[in-house]
Amino acid sequence: MISKDSFNKINKVKATDEKNNSFLKKIIFSTTVKILIIIILFLSSLIYIKQSDKNKKNYEKIVYNNSLSFAKIYNVYKQYLGDVIPFKNTMKDDAKLVSSEKIAYEKIQKENNGYMLLVSNNYVVPTIKSGIVIKVDEKGLYKTLITIQDKNGLNITYGCLNNLNVKLYDYVEKGEILGSADKKLYLIFEKDDKYLSYEEYI
């Protein structure tokens, strides 16, 4: 005969198992819905493009020729569908190089729309804010330039880079190593088409 304590323990174990199964089902359902919405949007875009050359030109004008705001897309997606990856903390890539230090520089001066920082030789450049790489330009005045947009619409451009560790449309975490800089690092801070001062960010 089963004692009252044993019976209670069995019921607690069953309740915990049911709760875990319910949570897992919710995650699977939520992820499946998000994937289906992405597939529908992708297929709708393809159908729209294939309809006519006029549609194709309009699509190129809207998507490729204009600078899409990843911050707006992220916020709309998060508002209606939740986080992009519901279990992202379990999927962290431990192989990524990350630094907890702020950008260290000897001197800073205004230059064009940004700031030129004097740094050490082969200085390892960490990301100031998490975000998406929205632009990579390897033929500019400041050698390799990359722009990262955070979820609030702040664009930070890093110039004079070597040995890039990221590519276009990568998502980078705060502190992740972008590459290196030799004695000079160029930074531009921009939001809502306005150039900002560096003081708040470095």
Summarised one tens digit per residue, pLDDT across range 123-136 is 999 999 999 998 99
Per-residue pLDDT band for 100 (boundaries 50, 70, 90) equals low
Closest listed residue to residue 25, CA positions, set 36, 33, 14: 33
Query: Whole-model pTM?
Result: 0.61
Count CB-CB contacts under 10 A for residue 105. Answer: 19
Percent of the chain with pLDDT over 90: 33
Q: What is the pLDDT of residues 60-90, one digit of tens each?
A: 666 555 555 666 666 666 666 555 544 444 3
- Cα dist. 44→38, 69, 113, 117, 172 in Å? 10, 20, 39, 46, 29
Q: What 3-state DSSP class applies to 42? A: helix
Q: What is the pLDDT of residues 155-178, one digit of tens each?
A: 999 999 999 988 888 889 999 999
Per-residue pLDDT band for 92 (boundaries 50, 70, 90) equals very low
CA distance 40 to 38: 5
Q: Please name the amino acid found at residue 130.
A: S
